[in-house]
Structure 1
Amino acid sequence: MLYAVIIEKAGDNFSAYLPDLPGCIATGATAADVTIEIRDAIRFHMEGLRADGLEVPEPTTLARYVQA
């Protein structure tokens, strides 16, 4: 599955979250670090949902860059 991941600068580090997987978040020192961390967080989050007998939500969020 392909999920939209939002990566934001947060002070001295970066944070990431997925609109389609509420509660799935990660932080890292760089954008590259947080990308690695969010992949692990997604896997862990999905395993937790399945272990609790819940369905993993299908990705529905789209992200686009729009020039202003």
Structure 2
Amino acid sequence: MGIYLKGLELYPALVRREGDFYQADFVDIPGCRAYGASAVEAEINAGEALHEHVATLGRYGRRLPVPSVVEQQDRDADRYVAYITAPLP
């Protein structure tokens, strides 16, 4: 069961520093990822990547999987879980 806020689905993305940039990988959506020069930019780009992924799935009559809840351990600036809002169907 995912996290819901006023009818919105939130998908967990693991944001981590990779050298000079940040990478965000969606836990429930293999291959859906984004990059940025900062953690904030990676989160913003992850939202855009998620929207594009939803659009692509929609063209094939498919939907996103149910989002999971990820337990956060040892959050720091170089590795943490961010919850990204999925577009409404």
TM-score, normalising length from structure 1?
A: 0.87
Change (3 A) 1:30 1:66: closer
Question: Please, which moves more after superposition, 49-58 or 30-39?
Answer: 49-58
Query: Gaps spanning 5+ residues in structure 1: where?
Result: none
Equivalent position of 1:2 in the other structure: 10
The one-letter code sitting in structure 2 at the alignment partner of 1:23 is G
- Which consecutive aligned stretches of 4+ in structure 1 deviate over 2 angstroms post-superposition? none
Gaps of 5+ in 2: 1-8, 76-89
Measure the CA separation in 2 of the matches of 1:2 and 1:63.
14
1:37/1:60 Cα in 2 relative to 1: closer, same or farther (>3 Å)? same
SS at match of 2:68: coil
State the aligned residue count. 67
Q: SS state of the match for residue 3, structure 1?
A: strand
Partner of 1:29: 37
1:45 aligns with 2:53: yes
Larger relative CO (CA 8 A, sep 6+): 1 or 2?
Answer: 2
Q: Percent identity?
A: 30
Given that residues 4 and 63 in structure 1 are in contact (C-alpha distance below 8 angstroms), is that contact kept between their aligned partners in structure 2? Answer: no
Please identify which structure carries the higher helix content. Answer: 1
What SS does structure 2 have at the residue aligned with 1:65? Answer: coil
Query: Quick check: which one's strand share is greater?
Result: 2
Q: Secondary structure at the match of 2:16?
A: strand
